[in-house]
Amino acid sequence: MKLKQRVVLLAILLVIFIFTKVFLIDNLDTSAANREDQRAFHRMMTGLRVELAPKLDHTLQSPWEIAAQWVVPREVYPEETPELGAIMHAMATKKIIKADVGYKGTQLKALLILEGGQKVVFKPKRYSRDYVVEGEPYAGYDRHNAEVAAFHLDRVLGFRRAPLVVGRFVNLRTEIKPVATEQLLSTFLTVGNNTCFYGKCYYCRETEPACADGDTMEGSVTLWLPDVWPLQKHRHPWGRTYREGKLARWEYDESYCDAVKKTSPYDSGPRLLDIIDTSVFDYLIGNADRHHYESFQDDEGASMLILLDNAKSFGNPALDERSILAPLYQCCIIRVSTWNRLNYLKNGVLKSALKSAMAHDPISPVLSDPHLDAVDQRLLNVLATVKQCTDQFGMDTVLVEDRMPLSHL
């Protein structure tokens, strides 16, 4: 064999060797990632049920100190949380030392300070569990139980980006009114034999108060994030206009995702994949009202998208608002870990896991069966959407490794 032929043959063999080695390494890495995702899923399922108990035997720290230390740029709470039951017990039972009107917004809420100085947001019960909110996907009052359910779905999905939420019963006459600010107190009234209040917000009206059952009001309390982590508000790139007859650009521009990818903070870092995760999360809970979102300040796109204000969900189990998934089906990318987790949760596992996670909440049952069945059905629609993407563009393009730089997208 001539020298030139030998060189060509060696070059071909070298290319084949390098390709094979890279291919095998990639497969090994993928398999290792899949195995870790599976182990994480099993750990989540094992620790899913949270019994509210006051004991913190292994530490002298308060529940509030522990919860504050959990918060880091990419998660609100860690994967393993043996203290979660004690923190949620404190949220549901600690003495209320001050009550005020809620922070600015469109919906009724109250800002409470619990013993030990911890701030929580209280959202009152407006609807019975089986009430169906008709009309637009964002119609109606906030649903307090939706906040509880959304937090536990965040746990089940392994996102860990939602602040802690628990149900709580409060006596408006003995627990709230004696420590209420004048501004909040001025919104109290009596309707029949029930104590009510309407608070201060954009849509708050004296004619539409939230009323207790007698003096006892059911609601949800959301743990305030630590002040050392100030929030920054962003307009959601797939937000609605909320104007009749006026469409947002994403509703008519098929290449809209390409434009988003060229815009900070979506042109690099994890934010675009967070948007995709959030679209899945919002579709599962039926939340079409995320026109803005929050991250931590000065994060240069590295912070998580924090799953705040999830109460405009679980209103109508028949709702199938596919437009919530627009970031997913327009960009056709999704994290490998999210894809794996969604697949582990099919065949009724999601409904069972969510029901188990919420079983010990003080306001259990948190969701009616039609809502739990709806979440399972919506999951199938998410999986079908991803399959359409992979059929069109291939698995390697659609499934993005979590730690992969996003410049290639």
Q: Which two tokens stand for residue 286?
A: 């039926």
Taking 3-state DSSP, the helix, strand and coil percentages for the chain, each rounded to the nearest 5, stand at 40, 15, 45
CB-count exposure of residue 302 (10 Å: 0-12, 13-18, 19+): middle
d(CA 82, CA 87) in angstroms, rounded, equals: 10
Q: Could you give the residue ranges of the DSSP H alpha helices within 123-230?
A: 144-157, 182-185
Instruction: Note if the bond before 365 is cis, omega within 30 degrees.
Output: yes
224 is in an annotated binding site: yes
107 annotated among ligand-binding-site residues? yes
**Cα-trace Rg, the chain:** 24
Note the Cα 380 to chain centre separation in Å: 19
CB 157 within 8 A of CB 344: no
Residue 154 known to bind ligand: no
Going along 275-327, which residue ranges are E strands? Answer: 292-296
Task: Provide the token pair at 388.
Answer: 């359409």
Asked whether 199 and 110 are in contact (CB, 8 A), the reply is yes
Q: Report helix, strand or coil for 233.
A: strand
Distance (Å, rounded) from C-alpha 364 to C-alpha 88? 14
One-letter amino acid of 227: D
10 is in an annotated binding site: no
Range list of β-strands (E), 136-246: 165-171, 188-191, 194-197, 210-211, 216-223, 231-235
Q: Would the annotation count 223 as a binding residue?
A: yes
Which H/E stretch holds residue 3? helix 3-46
Give catalytic residues, as residue numbers: 289
Give the pair of three-digit tokens for residue 158: 């392994």
Half-sphere exposure of 221 (CA within 13 A, CB side): 27
- Among 374, 338, 249, CA closest to 37: 338
CA distances from 28 to 61, 205, 262, 292 (A): 42, 60, 32, 39
What are the residues facing 112 on neighbouring strands?
Answer: 99, 120
User: Is residue 229 a known part of a binding site?
Assistant: no
142 is in an annotated binding site: yes
Task: Tell how far CA 386 is from the center of its chain.
Answer: 20
Please check if 109 is assigned to a binding site: no
377 is in an annotated binding site: no
User: In this structure, are residues 66 and 87 in contact, taking their beta carbons and an 8 Å threshold?
Assistant: yes
Q: Which residues pair with 15 in a beta bridge?
A: none
Binding residues for ATP: 107, 123, 222-225, 294, 309
Binding residues: 107, 123, 142, 222-225, 294, 309
Binding residues for Mn(2+): 142, 309
